[in-house]
Amino acid sequence: MFRDFPQGPPGAAWSDDESALLSKSRELTADYATQLKAALQESMTAGGPVEAITVCSELAPQLASDISRASGAKVRRTSLRFRNPGNAPDDWEAQRSLGVACILKAKSTGDNELTAKAVERWEKSLSINPDQPKADQLQKLIETYSN
Segment 121-130, tens digit of pLDDT: 999 999 999 9
- My answer on whether 28 and 54 are in the same domain is yes
- My answer on whether 94 and 63 are in the same domain is no
Q: What domain count does the chain have?
A: 2
DSSP string, 47-72: HHHHHHHHIIIIIHHHHHHHHHHHHS
Domain annotation covers residue 4: no
Q: DSSP alpha helices (H): ranges in 1-147?
A: 16-54, 60-71, 91-109, 112-128, 135-145
| Average pLDDT score over the chain | 85
Whether the CB-CB separation of 102 and 115 falls below 8 Å is answered with: yes
Return d(Cα 25, Cα 14) in angstroms, integer.
Answer: 14
- My answer on whether 68 and 96 are in the same domain is no
pLDDT band at 133 (very low <50, low <70, confident <90, very high): confident
Q: Is the pTM of this model over 0.75?
A: no
Q: Which domain holds residue 24?
A: 13-77
Tens of pLDDT, residue by residue over 59-91, are 988 999 999 999 988 888 778 888 778 888 999
pLDDT, residue 18, reads 62
